[in-house]
Structure 1
């Protein structure tokens, strides 16, 4: 029995509930994106700040609508991203990640949204195209890059999940809406939104996010807590509008991905 199992057993005997990350829902994600847009529109010539804002908005939007691990997303390379034939979305083929071993691949689709400020596809193209104008090429190698210690040069190495956690916390603190969230909570917010709005089954969420066990899906989506809850509809009325009923489209799968063009 490994150390994690021992810890979980001790917690069970002590009646200590397993602490879950506080979910990040669309209302807070929207506020972050609006804040970033405002900063980009008023920004001076500091290159590193513009790069960070462009990278961050793309990262957080994509993580929410993919339900991806922050660590796995940070290791995404541009060559893994393909354009859908209709031009309305992107296909990601993760080959590196926590559970991706022995040739396993996690494939997921993100589609364009009507609300541009939250659209993960628009956010990613905005990032890639705008940093390209700044002579920063992210169309090969790691998609989400880190800065050097002096914060004056974009490195070829990936941003860390801890770095993105700090960035998320900083935005929420600036907006005075921080409640202890981390990027892990974005993953939870995705699962809860999909489950409680009824736009996807547990298996559909598992396929999209890349979970192998139903128990994992149930834990992240809080399905047992939501089934008998009378406050679910009022909760999600605050974080999703009619446009987001269409988010079931992000779980679409393609049979043959080899024929798709590179996204960038």
Structure 2
């Protein structure tokens, strides 16, 4: 471990070592040091026989047992000694606490008590002063003749702090301040509370405490299950399992605790086998076509998919405690945040740019196709005899109509509840205020208005009412709970669970294929179709963003750029109409040219 200028050095910058090896005064048996966590071959601690202890060094050396203590796994039976750089005292103590081993650590104290002690007081068995400020001969520093005793005096108080691991030394917590004391303690070493008083308090409050803790644990489990039930959490859990299986195939074997950026980069390349983007070579006949083709050209993931995948991996390492920026010198931090992986994404982006790959957006579901789809589903509802199937067709009919008119996300519409719908006074429309979804929340709900359509076949208000009427035949009350529900695969009954976006995408594909209109549409296609339609009809961009639910002004250009180009006020329409009577002096082109000539020939103003 590299030493900083403020720690184990004298005034001349020489690396110091402790004058003599020592043992903890707590016990003469179990506290003989067996491992020096931060040392060089020349200044490592020695055992009673004078042999150099097993030790970790900042770089490879003949007697070293490993490089960089933070990348090592410490056996719980070890009794460790460490004299760390003082700016690494807290990380080292945290590392030792996580490994549950006994240790002796040397720290400095500017005042009476070391500043770092309060954070770890419950894990400290004892401590004593090695030397006070100004005391000489406590440390040694190197010379050409070997280590020489310090003649300058300590610039700070020097403490040795001991911890006996819980597996070796039983303890009891004080009920007044929760400090760890010996099991036979009489008074707490921190707050001074008597042990008998703590036991009396424990007996009186045990039942009430157990009930309270049970409620707290139950509440925590409920919140954790809510987090785990989300689609992102499920994807991350599945990815974590796949990542662990991949790491054990590497040589040497790796896991989440010791993986480095290079290992993650190999995993990203491994995932390309599932890619749906093909990098066609210059001589390939499919070079200008979209989709996967039967040729020898390699498959890969789009740069956006790689970036999203890396984001999930970054969250996985953060959840297991490997957070922060990656430090290649200390092998610490989050390996998925390394600059190596950022360069990998840049390389993938450059490769796909050179391969003439264009991003393919979702095929928009336009309203003319929605009309044909709704008339087909209305027919299926009218002829279906089975009530469950009739319910599902009516659900799909209402869902797709409302999806196209609202421009909502498919997953968000599936989470719509009856409590989110309100009648608009003096109107036949409905006001929607949704607080659940990808971007919606209590503080930022998604609000929009749906009014009746002049075409009853696609009217979302009418279709929602028809859907509720059919649901009542099955004794399903849609006035509470989720509006769009699923059928249980085992019982074949309708459950009060939200329908998923993937389920409705499959249903949409099936319906459109039945009427020979399928062109790759998904439940997200209606979002783009709504934005394009509104823009081509001349609706203001800000109003479109508010209706569809985009917080960024650039999203409208991303989804509906065609609508802007083809709008009546768009560049193409303007250039097309401006050519009328060209050459006769009355066209808009002629007038613009005349104005430009007049402005470009301006003369200097004279007083």
Global fold match (TM > 0.5): yes
| C-alpha contact 1:48 1:151 (8 A) present in aligned 2 | no
Alignment partner, residue 242 of structure 1: none
TM-aligned CA deviation for residue 125 of structure 1: 1.1
1:14 aligns to 2:352 (yes or no): yes
Alignment partner, residue 552 of structure 2: 213
TM-aligned CA deviation for residue 77 of structure 1: 0.6
How many residue pairs match? The answer is: 228
| C-alpha contact 1:89 1:109 (8 A) present in aligned 2 | yes
- Mapped to 1, the partners of 2:491 and 2:558 lie a distance apart of 38
CA RMSD between the two structures:
2.2
Alignment partner, residue 226 of structure 2: none
Q: 2:411 aligns with which of 62, 68, 71?
A: 71
TM-aligned CA deviation for residue 14 of structure 1: 2.6
Alignment partner, residue 252 of structure 1: none
Change (3 A) 1:202 1:136: same
Give runs of ≥4 in structure 1 deviating > 3 Å.
4-13, 223-230
| C-alpha contact 1:11 1:18 (8 A) present in aligned 2 | no
- Mapped to 1, the partners of 2:474 and 2:432 lie a distance apart of 25
Higher helix share: 1
- Mapped to 1, the partners of 2:427 and 2:517 lie a distance apart of 36
- Mapped to 1, the partners of 2:394 and 2:423 lie a distance apart of 20
Mean CA deviation greater in 108-117 or 2-11: 2-11
Change (3 A) 1:50 1:183: same
| TM-score, scaled relative to structure 2 | 0.36
1:97 aligns to 2:437 (yes or no): yes
Give SS of 1:114's match.
Answer: coil
After superposition, where does 1:173-252 map in structure 2 within 5 Å?
Answer: 173-198=513-538, 200-222=539-561, 223=563, 225-226=565-566, 227-229=570-572
TM-aligned CA deviation for residue 43 of structure 1: 1.5
- Mapped to 2, the partners of 1:177 and 1:126 lie a distance apart of 25
Alignment partner, residue 398 of structure 2: 58
1:157 aligns to 2:157 (yes or no): no
| C-alpha contact 2:406 2:547 (8 A) present in aligned 1 | yes
- Mapped to 2, the partners of 1:211 and 1:121 lie a distance apart of 24
Q: For structure 2, list consecutive stretches of 5 or more residues without a partner in the other structure.
A: 1-305, 312-341, 574-607
1:34 aligns to 2:375 (yes or no): yes
Q: Residues 170-216 of structure 1, C-alpha deviation per residue, up to 9 Å, x if partnerless? A: 01000011111101111100000000111x11100001111001111
Change (3 A) 1:25 1:151: farther
Mean CA deviation greater in 131-140 or 103-112: 131-140
Q: Residues 198-246 of structure 1, C-alpha deviation per residue, up to 9 Å, x if partnerless? A: 1x1110000111100111111111245433456xxxxxxxxxxxxxxxx
Higher relative contact order, chain-length normalized (CA < 8 Å, sep 6+): 1
| C-alpha contact 2:375 2:457 (8 A) present in aligned 1 | yes
| C-alpha contact 1:164 1:183 (8 A) present in aligned 2 | yes
Q: For structure 1, list consecutive stretches of 5 or more residues without a partner in the other structure.
A: 231-264
Q: Residues 81-138 of structure 1, C-alpha deviation per residue, up to 9 Å, x if partnerless? A: 0011023200110101111246210100000111100101111111112211321111
| TM-score, scaled relative to structure 1 | 0.80
| C-alpha contact 2:407 2:548 (8 A) present in aligned 1 | yes
- Mapped to 2, the partners of 1:80 and 1:145 lie a distance apart of 15
Change (3 A) 1:58 1:141: same
| C-alpha contact 2:536 2:564 (8 A) present in aligned 1 | no
| C-alpha contact 1:91 1:108 (8 A) present in aligned 2 | yes
TM-aligned CA deviation for residue 161 of structure 1: 0.5
1:3 aligns to 2:3 (yes or no): no
